[in-house]
Structure formats: structure tokens, C-alpha cells
Structure 1
Amino acid sequence: MTATVSPSTVEQARTSHRLQLPRDTDPAAVLTMVRNLHPEASTDAEGAIQLGDGLRLVPDGSPRGAGRWTLDTPRVREDPQPEGMGDSHGYGRAFPDGVPFGTERQGLDLAWSLGRRLYGAVVTDDGVRLEPHPFHIRDLTVVSPYALAPESLAELLGPLEPEAELDQVPEDAPRVGYSVTIPLPAGEEISLRVGRSSRPMALQALGWLEDAVDYELVHLPADPEEDAIESPESGTSERWQTVYRRIGMIAGLLTESVGGFVVDLEGFLVDPADLV
């Protein structure tokens, strides 16, 4: 269900939210991930990550502050989230009087995404805890300089996914513009779509990116509204993890065969070694 949110924004000074990551998280790894989405991000003498537009991620330097970061941000709020609207990030629950908007929303989204990728959580300025599910986003894309013909891709997938079916291939799309469907239990599917690259921000420095090909692996759940769930039940959580592992195995096979890099749906680079 969707609804329109009216942008009656009121900007008030500044506020802060806390990003809580595992204590052994390397600050350099956080900076690397931030630069996947914000290549211009820099650090100051205190180790704070400057994101621009008044946004900063400040590490906690106290003896017990390992893994803790403070998102220092302008405070910008709009109307409360309409009742019944999907709330995958939990913002409607956390901000009943008005959800973050504009710059604050961008910073909060980044903190939420870092929490998802690094198994952490976000605590809002009002003390509400948001715990992103690590497999909430399961889609992956292999960005490669090489395009496989449809028959070659089907042959490559055969041993790993014997039920994979090559969809109808347009006559004018010998190497891009086609897809493969991989059936899953309970009416779900993985769709592997081959097309011109969307050129992720994390890979902008690559000389071959302009002509790159995306092998986009998309999970199609039986219930399209499922991705709006903030906290899935155990059965859904296990299924998400299983699908992610399966998508990861396909992504790993592709990178071994055609080279390139793996990015997730939000644009973060993913190490193929972590997908095994």
C-alpha cells in the first residue's frame, strides 16, 4: 500500500542519532563503505567522517565507545508517516510526530544501511532502537566488462541451477537485454537480468565502466509487500537468508567466469569471498 506524504517541512537547528556497530569494527572499513556511496567523504583530525551538507559521522573516542558513531545532522522533519504505509526501516514507529526528511533522512538512511551491512543498530535522538535485518536486501549485481551470450550464460548456470530457464530473448539483444528465471519454493523466483550497467558510484574510477554489463540478481518473493516488513518472523528471516546465500553463490560463479565486482542494491561493494 502506498500513500503520498506532504512535504510540510520545518528545519530546526541540529540533532544526532547513534550508530552502534560491533566493537571490533575497523573505522577504516566504515570509511570505505561510506565512500562507496559518497566518494567525496573525508575525515578530520578526530576521525570524524565529513559527508557534506552538514552531515558528519563522529566516532566515540571514549574507553567504552568502540563501534559507536554519532550521526551529527541538521534536524529536518516532515509530516508523520501515514497509517498503513510500509515501514521497512521503522521510521514511522521511531518518529511518530514527523519522519526525517531531506538531509537528515539521507544521513539516517546511510546509518541504517551501515547497520544492515555491518550487523549493527541505530538509536534515534529519542532513544528508539532500529535493528536492520542483515538480509533485508538480498539483490546483488555483478558489474563486469564482459557480456555472455544467452546460451553461454544458461550453460554456465546449468550445474549450479539446473532448473534455470532462459526467458525469451529479443532478436536484437544477442548479449544484453535478456533474462533468466530461477524458480524457488512456494512460488518465488530469482530473476537474473543482463543489461547495460547502471554504473554504480563505487566503481566510477574504472576505465571500462562506461561499456560494462550488469548481471542483476533479483529476488521476487511471492508476496511483493514482504520487503516492507521491518522485523520479519523467524520463518521469513530464514528464507531471506537462504535466498541471499543462493544469490551469492550465483554472483560468485559469475565473477569467477566473467570478472568484475559485486554490488548490493544500495550500491555497497560486496566481497565475493563473503558470499561463499
Structure 2
Amino acid sequence: MAARPFDPALAEQHHLLALAGDVPAEELDVLATSRFSAAGWEVPAEPAARRGRSKAGPIAVLRLSRLSSLRGPYPIDRAAAAALGLPGPTGQVWLLHAPVERGEAPWPGAADRDGLGRAFPDGLPIRDEERVVTWLVAAARRLAGAVRVTGVGGGPATVLVPDPAAAVDLTVWSDIWLDPEAALSVVRQAVPRARLDLGTPWDGPPAGTGVRPVPGAEDLDARERAALHQAADDRDLEALTQQEVRSAYGMLADLDLDGVLAVEVGGETRLPQALAGVPWASGGAVTYRVSWAPDELADLGMERPPIEHRIARGRAAPLVNAVARALHAAVAGEITDMMGFIVDPADL
């Protein structure tokens, strides 16, 4: 017998996650445990190989948090999906059971890359509803799906179709620190025009230092002033002759009309949930953040940016992937995307 059909009336009571029919439940399990520490199956999902070949069993329940869970999958045909405003490839939906918790209305003109301001014009979700709804959008972006946000008080529903291509930036997490020159040589394997960005060099004290007395030092005689300057010079010389210890640095690559590719290297003690329990990251990790910035930064906050942005992004994204892949080959560890989900280097 076929799996349990979807009742469209449920869409008026719950937010929906809509996915293609061939996306296995195991994918959702991985994404849920990557974001929520308490995630796990209360009622396991039937393996995809068996689904539809036996009597419809209980709907699977994926616990996200103490208050929220995801239930499904409900198969849905093209006509029913279209009636709900869902995109054509939709073949299954999952219902979100979560509290309704709303805060203030979105600021007019604020960045709204995920479309949440459009979906919640009277009050953005807060607390648990915010956490699970933003995860739904992130999961839809990762799995090329959609989210249908039910209206409040009988209001119209909103369908969000986040663009997977907008998730450009990547982070490599490792327990290996590369010195700036070593990291630059790795990054240049993918982007030869990359250069180190170590900040603005110090050009020495301002003109007149040591000649004109500073406020508060007018009563010093020439011998006392000379002794103070000599002590300062000795301290500067000692600092300059010691090997510089860096805790962070960066690299930049000018992509001409396509913006800038940046790599930021540093340490991080607050790790994403996806790395919880990884032994080498128990005390923190070295991060290699690879990001892209377009010429028009405001475009990054747009749900549907202009075609010029998308063309530039399409050319920059393979370079971001190549840099992350090269860094991972050098330092191992894990790669996460902008949503905090683990990325297999073979998929880049």
C-alpha cells in the first residue's frame, strides 16, 4: 500500500518543509543533529527502500528541541503541491510542530536574505520558533527545498524558496595552524592572485616626537627627557627583534568585477553543534574562513539579488570552493557551510 497521504488542511496549522520525493529522511537527521543538541528520532523514519511497499506505518517524528518536532514524510502529488504554492519538484512534505512565539515587526528596509521579514510582517519569530524556522530555511537551502510559513489568524501563507547558490562562504576547522606564508602558498594553488593582508604597517612615531614636549612633561630637563626616550627605544628594539606571534591574519584576492575573496585565519573556542564531540576540537579549533564579498555589499542581504550579483557569485563560488578544498587538503579537519552544516570536500 502507498504511504499515508497528506491532508492539505494540516498546512493551515503548521509550517511545512517541502522537499523532492527522493530526499531521504537520513539527510534531515544529519542536518538536525548539526544544529540541535537534543535532536533525535522519537519515531524512526522508514528506510526509503521500503517506503511505499508496505502498509502505512506511523508518521516519523524527528525531535528538534524540547518544544519542537518535525513529522513526516507525507507524499504529495504535483496538483496538491501547486495548490499550496510549493515548487514543482516537491514530492514530500514535513510538518513542523512548534510553539508560536513572535516579537517585534521587522525593520522597514532591513536586509532579508531568507525572506523571514516578508513571511512574518507583523512580528518575527523569537525563541524556539525562531530557532526551528531558521533551521527549516537552512535545511531547505541545503536540500534545494522550500518552506511554507502558515499565516497567523487565517492570514495568507508565504512560501520561501531559498537559493542554494547563495550559500557561498565556507569554513575549514582544524587543529593545525598554518603560518601566514604557508597558508598563502596553499591558497595560491587555487587563486594565484591572493596576497597576505597583515594590517597597516607601523611607520614609526609621528614627526616631532622627542623634540617637542608633550603635555605633562614640560618640567623635564633635557637629560631626563633623553633618558626616557632611550628607555623607549630600547623597549621598541627588544620588541622588534623578537619573533612576532600572530593569533590571526588574513588573505585577499581581488576578483576585479566579481568582488573580493577573503580568507580569515584565527582561533575559535565556540564551535558549531556539528563539531560537538569531535575529539581534536574539544578545546577549540583553528578556523580558515573563506568568504566572498561583491562590489555591492547590500546585495548580500537581498532575497532575490539582481542578475549582475548572481553572475559574479557564480564565477566567485568555484574559487571559494577551490580555496576551501586546498586548505582542507593541507590541514584536514572539517568544512562547514554558511548554515553550519558539514560539507564533504569531495562535493566541492
TM-score (normalizing by structure 1) = 0.87
Match of 1:5 in 2: none
Counterparts of residues 167-182 of structure 1 (less than 5 Å): 167-168=197-198, 172-174=244-246, 176-182=247-253
Equivalent of residue 199 in structure 1, options 266, 271, 288: 271
211 and 91 in structure 1: CA distance in 2 versus 1, 3 angstrom threshold: closer
* Cα distance between partner residues in 2 of 1:69 and 1:270: 23
Match of 1:185 in 2: 256
* Cα distance between partner residues in 2 of 1:118 and 1:53: 25
Does residue 56 of the first structure (1) align with residue 69 of the second (2)?
A: yes
> For residue 113 of structure 1, what is the amino acid of its counterpart?
A
1:57-109 superposed Cα distances (whole Å, 9 cap, x missing partner): 11134475853111111112223223222222212222233222222121110
Provide the secondary structure at the position in 1 that maps to 2:317. Answer: helix
> For residue 259 of structure 2, what is the amino acid of its counterpart?
E
Match of 1:80 in 2: 105
Of Structure 1 and Structure 2, the greater strand share is in: 1
* Cα distance between partner residues in 2 of 1:221 and 1:250: 17
Larger Rg belongs to:
2
Deviates more, 1:252-261 or 1:219-228: 219-228
121 and 211 in structure 1: CA distance in 2 versus 1, 3 angstrom threshold: closer
- Residue 183 of structure 1 and its aligned partner are, at CA, apart by 1.1
Provide the secondary structure at the position in 1 that maps to 2:71. Answer: strand
> For residue 342 of structure 2, what is the amino acid of its counterpart?
L
Equivalent of residue 161 in structure 1, options 181, 184, 191: 191
Match of 2:94 in 1: 69
The unaligned stretches of length 5 or more in structure 2 are: 1-11, 44-58, 78-89, 152-156, 202-242
Equivalent of residue 150 in structure 1, options 180, 184, 188: 180
Cα pair 1:15 1:75 within 8 Å, conserved:
no
Counterparts of residues 92-131 of structure 1 (less than 5 Å): 92-126=117-151, 127-131=157-161
Does residue 138 of the first structure (1) align with residue 168 of the second (2)?
A: yes
- Residue 222 of structure 1 and its aligned partner are, at CA, apart by 1.8
Cα pair 1:53 1:103 within 8 Å, conserved:
no
- Residue 211 of structure 1 and its aligned partner are, at CA, apart by 4.7
* Cα distance between partner residues in 2 of 1:223 and 1:173: 35
> For residue 95 of structure 1, what is the amino acid of its counterpart?
F
1:99-123 superposed Cα distances (whole Å, 9 cap, x missing partner): 2222212111010000111101111
> For residue 276 of structure 2, what is the amino acid of its counterpart?
Q
* Cα distance between partner residues in 2 of 1:179 and 1:234: 30
266 and 36 in structure 1: CA distance in 2 versus 1, 3 angstrom threshold: same
139 and 173 in structure 1: CA distance in 2 versus 1, 3 angstrom threshold: farther
Match of 1:228 in 2: 301
Deviates more, 1:126-135 or 1:109-118: 126-135
Provide the secondary structure at the position in 1 that maps to 2:97. Answer: strand
Cα pair 2:38 2:66 within 8 Å, conserved:
no
Counterparts of residues 2-41 of structure 1 (less than 5 Å): 15-41=13-39
Does residue 262 of the first structure (1) align with residue 335 of the second (2)?
A: yes
Cα pair 2:170 2:338 within 8 Å, conserved:
yes
- Residue 243 of structure 1 and its aligned partner are, at CA, apart by 2.0
* Cα distance between partner residues in 1 of 2:176 and 2:278: 14
Aligned length: 261
* Cα distance between partner residues in 1 of 2:111 and 2:164: 18
What is the identity percentage for the equivalent residue pairs of Structure 1 and Structure 2?
28
1:155-206 superposed Cα distances (whole Å, 9 cap, x missing partner): 22223211100122796435x4111111112272111111113422211211
Match of 1:7 in 2: none
* Cα distance between partner residues in 2 of 1:207 and 1:220: 33
Cα pair 1:88 1:230 within 8 Å, conserved:
yes
76 and 161 in structure 1: CA distance in 2 versus 1, 3 angstrom threshold: same
> For residue 215 of structure 1, what is the amino acid of its counterpart?
Y
- Residue 264 of structure 1 and its aligned partner are, at CA, apart by 1.6
